[in-house]
Structure 1
Amino acid sequence: MNKLKKANIQLCADAGSKYCPCHLAYSGDCIKCPIIRGEKTCDCLWQGVCVYSELKHSQNTPMCERKESLCNIKEVKDLDSDIFLMKIQVPKDMIRDLCSPGAYVLIKSKDKNSDIFNTPISVMDVDMKSCILEVVVKSRGIKTKNIINFDQVWVKGPYFNGIFGIKQIKGAYKINTVVVLNGLSQVNSINIIKRLLENKNNVEVFINNKATVLQVVIDKLINLGVNIYETDLNKDKDFLIDYIRRNDVAFVYSGGSDLFNKYVMNIVDSVDENINLAVSNNNLICCGEGVCGACTIDVNGQKVKSCKAQIDSRDFLNSRNL
């Protein structure tokens, strides 16, 4: 019971959205609400709309499910070896939520009907006025290599749990922040940086130049007006440590592999373990709804559905065998 209580203080990324209550709530497996799970005490610490009340009120109404839409591909651009930028026209009601930090969609080729071909793709950027979604796709398997061969693509979303630490990103206000990026995980940084800038934070970006660096991301960062350091983060570790220390950095986002994110976490913690940390969610995601179980991981001895549950970044990285 005590272990369950520890896990339950984690926020579900869908809580409070129009997609709550979800399938897990209706089946009695809600991530957030212990009452729905059949426990006797309410200890979810959720300060938004009560999920249990919403479930009771919506018993006789259809559940709001994410829709799959066949969308026109407006442009495909070759960025690197087997890496493509896609601009996709998506429905207006979808685009509104895709500007959230950590937003992603499930995409599959036009010629595939089964959901087993869905692949999670991070949102890079959105054009709200034109309803254009920009994503970067690496062609490396049956799910992705055929996506660009048609003038349309299936898009399902929005989903929100592409990063751990959404609360810390949205709560950062008028502080010094650092964004550290490595490889293709750099693409999900645009929404994060936009939110940090909207909240009047100072943002400095460090990109590991020993991994893939996408010029399309660099151009967007330049347009946002942030300072960019392209550097070898292995050799120049002390430079990053010194920057964080000298500038009283209070928040760091690390976008990279789990191994890279743990490396950055150790750098941050060498300065101050109280600095807020957010990291990219690199776990296997299949259905995006916590139903299939493919995303389930062990954190502090608890089974956690990582496609929906917000996990403390340090707890997550320390639970990985890296």
Structure 2
Amino acid sequence: MIINGLCADYGSRFCPCILAVTGGCVVCSQVNGKAFCDCKASGGICIKQELLRNGGKANPGRLTYECEVISVIHYDGLVFLRVKVPISLEREVKRPGGFVFVRRKDAASWYDVPISVQFEEMMVGSIGMTLLFRGVKTNQFKDLAEGDTLLLRGPFNNGLLGLQHLEAQQSSRCLILTKGIGLLPSVSAVRYLQSRHNETELYVDEGNFSPSILKFQLDLFELPFKPLTLLDDDGELSTPAKHVIRRFVADGGSLIHVGASEYVIHQVAAYLHYIGNRHVKLSACNNARMCCGEGVCGACTETTADKRVIHHCKEQVKIK
């Protein structure tokens, strides 16, 4: 599933970052201490050269913005809010997979919560997000009201994997499979695909989620959907799900987006391989292990079979 990862920040204003300074760059082998260049970057930017030009220092990182809450909807254990943000930040998180870290103004920095941006108003300077109350960090938002101030750190743009496949879709047929909380970060993907005149077919598995919460989200964004159980009692891809995928492939579909756990993503990828798929691309949610967003804390790392360490919060890995 993971091949040739490329840093989501490569060539951006955040590159080179602190990983390049400390010898843990995702892309550049030479700043990591190797004698020869064997990077797979294709953007024409040499991170080692940029680091030398910076005097061995990283570029400035993400900023933290004080933002006013301009709209709040509380509903059954969640809150949907719109927050006024600088237009520059709104522009940078409008891409599918965009997210920010959020906390109350009076909370310590370790109370940051990574939240997907579901909605943005171009040239108005506001973004929409859904916060679920699931523990100490998210419970700080239970009494949130209009006029309150939140601290937003960002922008981050690696909330979805397979972005290169998703952004390539134009006037195509796309299938979206979501389960439980995976619906929330998938909203931006569905809206993006629809904005590019793609035909989208959305299937939702409630999982352990409240049906009313899912209906609230689907109604809020006016997303038509069909119910579908993705896994059977043995934890395998269900027969109805296989039928939906096989029909989609046979009918010339172009992209499948999976908004679910890593296990479900692997199940869908394996089934596509089993039926001999050669043309349908995959994209998927990437929020299962998001922690610091900078590749520093190590909470999202994974060691591959070839002993390579993947930073899931930084690397835009391909899915096959």
Find the partner of 1:251 among 248, 252, 255: 255
TM-score by length of 1: 0.84
Runs of 4+ in 1 over 6 A off after TM superposition: none
Partner of 1:127: 121
SS of 1:147's equivalent? coil
- In 2, Cα distance between equivalents of 1:72 and 1:221: 22
Larger mean CA deviation between 39-48 and 261-270 belongs to 261-270
| Paired residue secondary structure (1:168) | helix
Please say if residues 123 and 187 of structure 1, whose CA atoms lie closer than 8 Å, have aligned partners that are also in contact: no
CA distance in 1, matches of 2:42, 2:85: 32
> CA–CA distance in 1 between the matches of 2:215 and 2:22?
45
Shift of 1:15: 0.8
> Residue 236 of structure 1 corresponds to which residue in structure 2?
240
Q: CA deviation at 1:173?
A: 3.9
Letter in 2 for 1:282: N
Note the residue ranges of structure 2 that are not aligned, 5 or more in a row. Answer: 231-237
Matched, 1:162 2:162: no
Counterpart residue type for residue 63 of structure 1 = N
Preserved CA contact (<8 Å) 1:110 1:147 = no
Once the two structures are superposed, residues 218-275 of structure 1 have per-residue CA deviations (whole angstroms, 9 ceiling, x without a partner) of 246547xxx6323334462244134313322232110012233233334433433433
CA distance in 2, matches of 1:144, 1:188: 16
Number of matched residues?
303
What is the aligned partner in structure 2 of residue 215 from structure 1? 215
1:64 to 2:60 alignment: yes
Query: 1:24 is matched with which residue: 19, 27, 32?
Result: 19
Q: Secondary structure at the match of 1:73?
A: strand
The CA deviation string for residues 158-185 of structure 1, in whole angstroms up to 9 with x for no partner, is: 1111122112212334432211111122
Per-residue deviation, 1:60: 7.9
Q: Which letter maps to 1:107?
A: V
Q: Name 2:200's counterpart in structure 1.
A: 203
Letter matched to residue 127 of structure 2? L
Q: Structure 1 residues 53, 75: closer, same or farther in 2, change over 3 A?
A: same
Residue 117 (str. 1) matches residue 122 (str. 2): no
Q: CA deviation at 1:289?
A: 0.7
Code of the aligned partner of 1:135: M
Correspondence for 1:175 among 172, 175, 187: 172
Counterpart for residue 84 of structure 1: 79
Structure-1 residue corresponding to 2:90: 95
**1: CA distance between counterparts of 2:131 and 2:39?**
37
Letter paired with 1:303:
V
Q: Give 1:153's aligned residue.
A: 150
Paired with 1:268 and 1:79, the residues of 2 have a C-alpha distance of 37
Unaligned runs of 5+ in 1: 1-6, 315-322
Distance 1:201 1:95, change over 3 A: same
Q: Does 1:291 align with 2:299?
A: no
CA distance in 2, matches of 1:236, 1:221: 26
CA contact (8 A) 1:163 1:280 kept: yes
| Structure 2 match to 1:278 | 283
Aligned amino acid, residue 25 of structure 1: A
Shift of 1:61: 7.9
* Among candidates 29, 36, 40, match of residue 35 of structure 2: 40
Distance 1:286 1:232 in 2: 29
Indicate how the Cα distance of structure 1 residues 296 and 61 shifts in structure 2: closer, same or farther if over 3 A, else same: closer
Which position in structure 2 is the counterpart of 1:264? 268
Q: Share of identical aligned residues, percent?
A: 26
Give the corresponding residue for 2:235: none
Deviates more, 1:174-183 or 1:262-271: 262-271
* C-alpha contact (below 8 Å) 1:245/1:271 kept by paired residues: no
Residues 88-144 of structure 1, C-alpha deviation per residue, up to 9 Å, x if partnerless?
A: 11222211111111111111122213x211111111111123221111111121111
Distance 1:169 1:146, change over 3 A: same
Aligned-partner Cα distance in 1 for 2:172–2:275: 16
Aligned to 1:311: 317
What is the distance in 1 between the residues matched to 2:87 and 2:271? 41
Report if the CA contact (8 A) 1:10-1:309 is conserved: yes
Select between 288-297 and 43-52 the one with higher mean Cα deviation.
43-52
Q: Is the Cα contact below 8 Å between 1:32 and 1:44 reproduced in 2?
A: yes
